[in-house]
Amino acid sequence: MGKVLFHIDLNAFFASAELLLDPSLKGKPIAISGLSKRSVVATASYEARQFGVHSAMPIREALSLCPQLIVVKGHHDFYEELSDQFIRYVKRYTSQVEKASIDECYADMSEAIRQFRRPLDLAWQLQQELSADLHLKCSIGVAPNKFLAKMASDMKKPMGITVLRKQEVPVKLWPLPIEEMRGIGKKTAPLMREKGILTIGDLAHITQPEILQPILGKNAAIFIRRARGEDDRELVCESDVKSMSQSTTLNYDFSSDEEVRVLFRRLADRLSRRLMEEDKQGTLASVSIRYDDFDTHVRSRKLPQPIFRADDLFEIAMELFDENYEDRPLRHLGISLSDLSGIHEQRQQMNLFDTPVQEATGELIERLNRQLEQGGHLTTAGCLAQSRRK
C-alpha cells in the first residue's frame, strides 16, 4: 500500500497570530509588515485580500487599495513559538514530520490513519484541534507524495481538505496554468509559454526532457515527473539549517562610514546570538550590498576556521565591505554565514585529538615500530584508538 502524506499549511499565519495578541483586530483588514516606508506586506488577512492586498506588495500600494488597512508590526519571536506548538500538535499523530517553513509541514500519516474509520477523519480532526486549541486555521493536502500533497493543500483555502490521488492528476492538476507549478516562477513561466507549455498537463506530456534543459537545467526531467504526479522524495525530518543571515534595508539611502560600521555591528550581534542559540558555526561568510538603484552585490569568503562570534562576523563583514564598496548611496546591507556545522560537534571532535600532536605522533610511531618488529598488522587508526583509550 502506498504512503499517505499530509501537507499542512497554516492560512494567513502571521495574521492569525496577531489576532491572538490583539483580538480586537478580528474581522478587520490587517497587514503584517515592518513599519518603515520601504516595507512590504508579509501576510495579509483574508479581509485585506478582498481589496487585492497580497504578500510582497509595498505597504504604500496596499494602503492605496485599502485605506482602512491596519498595518501591524510583526512579532517574530511569538510566531516561532506558535509554529513550534503547531509542529508539536502534528507530532501527536506521527513522528514523521518535516517542517518545511514557519507555517507549513509535511507529515507521513500512513500509520496514523489506520486508527480512523475514514482517512479524511484524521485530517478533519487535526484541523478542528488546531482551530479550537491554537486558533490557527489550516489547509490540508492529502496525497501519496510530497509534491501532490503540496499542490493539494493549495487548492482549497482557508480551512480546506483536499485529497489528490495519482489517478486524479489528469483531471485536477493538468488543467492548471504552468505558473501554478512549484518552482516555476515569473521568470521561467514566460519561457515555458514560448515553448508552447501553457499548463501543467502540457509539461507532463513532454517526452524529451532535453528540450527543457536550457530553461530548467538539470531538473528538467524531475519537473516533468512531478507534472505527472511522480515524486519519490523522502521527508527530511530533522530541520538542518544550511545558512543563517541577517540583513536590513535602510530607511534612507546613505553611505556614511560610521553608520555602516554601526549597522554591521548590530547585524553581527544579532546573527551571532542566533547562531549560538542554534549551536551553529560556519566557514563561508558573505555580505550583501544593495545600492540605491537596487543593484545588489554579494561578496563571500571561505574561512580557514569556522566562526560564530559577533566580533569575528563583524570583522570579516567590514573587510568584505571595504574591499568591494563602490562609494555610492546604499539602501541595504546584510551578513550571511553558511557551510554550517555544530559548535559542540566540532568541540567533541577536537577533544578526540587534543593530545598534543607531537606526543600523539611520537607515541604512534613508537607503537608502529614495535608492531613491525613483532610482525603485526596494527593500522594507524587502531593505534590512535589504543592511545586514546589509555
Active-site residues: which are they? Answer: 104
One DSSP character per residue, 176-240 reads SBGGGSTT--TTHHHHHHHTT--BHHHHHT---GGGGHHHHGGGHHHHHHHHTT---PPP--S--
- Asked whether position 120 contacts DNA by CB under 7 A, the answer is no
DSSP lists the bridge partners of residue 143 as 5
- Asked whether position 103 contacts DNA by CB under 7 A, the answer is yes
Strands 243-254 and 43-44: unpaired
- Closer to DNA at the Cβ: 39 or 199? 39
- Contact range with DNA by CB under 7 A, out of 137-145, 181-189, 224-232, 360-368: 181-189
- Asked whether position 233 contacts DNA by CB under 7 A, the answer is no
Size of the site for DNA (CB under 7 A): 59
Q: Which of 20, 25, 46, 63 binds DNA (CB under 7 A)?
A: 63
- Contact range with DNA by CB under 7 A, out of 82-90, 91-99, 238-246, 363-371: 238-246
Cα R_g (the chain), whole angstroms: 26
Q: Which of 2, 27, 158, 217 binds DNA (CB under 7 A)?
A: 217
207 half-sphere exposure, CB direction, 13 A CA radius:
0
Which residue is associated with the grid cell 478587520? 28
- Asked whether position 131 contacts DNA by CB under 7 A, the answer is no
Q: Which of 94, 110, 300, 341 binds DNA (CB under 7 A)?
A: 300
As measured in angstroms, the least distance from the Cβ of 64 to DNA is: 2
Segment 350 to 389, residues that bind DNA, using CB under 7 A: none
8-state DSSP, 103: T
Give dist(CA 51, CA 71) in Å, integer.
14
Give dist(CA 169, CA 230) in Å, integer.
10
Q: Which of 40, 120, 318, 378 binds DNA (CB under 7 A)?
A: 40
- Contact range with DNA by CB under 7 A, out of 21-29, 97-105, 122-130, 370-378: 97-105
As measured in angstroms, the least distance from the Cβ of 375 to DNA is: 33
One DSSP character per residue, 243-256 reads EEEEEEEEEEEE--
- Asked whether position 185 contacts DNA by CB under 7 A, the answer is yes
One DSSP character per residue, 291-325 reads ETT--EEEEEEEEEEEE-SHHHHHHHHHHHHHHH-
As measured in angstroms, the least distance from the Cβ of 84 to DNA is: 15
| Neighbouring residues of 40: CB distance < 8 A, sequence distance ≥ 6 | 33, 55, 56, 57, 58, 59
- Closer to DNA at the Cβ: 118 or 242? 242
Give per-residue burial for 123-156: e unless 16+ CB within 10 Å, then b.
beebbeebeeebebbbbbbbbbbbbbbbbbbbbe
- Asked whether position 328 contacts DNA by CB under 7 A, the answer is no
Contact between 108 and 5 (Cβ < 8 Å): yes
- Closer to DNA at the Cβ: 45 or 336? 336
- Contact range with DNA by CB under 7 A, out of 86-94, 122-130, 244-252, 347-355: 244-252
As measured in angstroms, the least distance from the Cβ of 242 to DNA is: 3
Give dist(CA 367, CA 146) in Å, integer.
54
- Asked whether position 272 contacts DNA by CB under 7 A, the answer is no
- Asked whether position 246 contacts DNA by CB under 7 A, the answer is yes
- Asked whether position 210 contacts DNA by CB under 7 A, the answer is no
One DSSP character per residue, 135-150 reads ---EEEEEESSHHHHH
Give dist(CA 4, CA 143) in Å, integer.
6
Q: Which of 110, 249, 255, 346 binds DNA (CB under 7 A)?
A: 249
Write out the residues near DNA by the rule CB under 7 A: 34, 37-40, 42, 55-56, 58, 60-61, 63-65, 100-104, 150, 181-189, 217-219, 241-249, 274, 284, 286, 293-294, 296-302, 324, 331-332, 334, 336, 338
